[in-house]
Each structure stands twice: as C-alpha cells, then as structure tokens.
Amino acid sequence: MLNIFKSLFKNDAYENLPATDFLTQLKATPDAVLLDVRTPGEVAAGKLKGAKIMDFYDPGFSTTVSKLDKAKPYFIYCRSGVRSANACKMMHKMGFTKLFNLSGGYLSV
C-alpha cells in the first residue's frame, strides 16, 4: 500500500526529502551545492550555513542557474518547498540530474 502511495507522488525530475534526510544526505554528498531560492527579505531572517543565495523571483534566475555545473548534486530549498520544487523542475529541464528538494522548506528545519 505504501508503494502505491509513493508512486502517486514519484517524479523523475527531483527527489523530495524531509528536513532530517535532506540535511543528512547534504552532509554525506561530496560536491553537493546548497541553493537557497528565497527572496533577500526571507534570507535576512536566517539561512542554512553554506547556502548560495539565488532568488527564484529574480528575472535573471534561469540564466544564472544555466551557468551552474550540471554534473553536481543540488540541494534546494525555499520557505515552504514550493518555489524550490519549481526550481528543481526548471533545472531538470535544463539537464540537471541530481536534484533534491527540501520538503516543507526552511520552515521545516
């Protein structure tokens, strides 16, 4: 039954991870890149250590992302997990293959 439930939410573009798994896998992944796709105002309230800030709403977001190394694994988060999921989808379409979304976003940490 659980496998049926998981298959309903399976997606090939990225993997959703709860906060504990996200942070554990981030630390255990060589060459991992942590991306914070929140707005500057949200970032001012706090961020995960070592995160690169790339505002999803910035008009140049897709251009900036397209210049990143597609071979590296990316751990992406936003406030609640929606923008980061959209960033993962966008990056997958650009050819990125190792994408991890923080399910529940920064609020879940």
Give the residue numbers spanning the domain of 93: 33-108
Alpha-carbon dihedral sign for residues 21, 92, 36, 33: positive
Under-70 pLDDT residues of the chain: 1-10
Pairwise CA distance, residues 71 & 29, whole Å: 13
Q: Is 104 buried (19+), middle (13-18) or exposed (0-12) by CB count in 10 A?
A: middle
Domain annotation covers residue 51? yes
- Write the CATH number for 60: 3.40.250.10
- Bridge partners for 17 per DSSP: 102
pLDDT of the residue at 10: 53
Count of domains for the chain: 1
**Pairing mode, strands 99-102 and 74-77:** parallel
Domain annotation covers residue 102? yes
Q: pLDDT tens digit string along 52-78? A: 999 999 999 999 999 999 999 999 999
Alpha-carbon dihedral sign for residues 52, 89, 18, 31: negative
Domain annotation covers residue 17? no
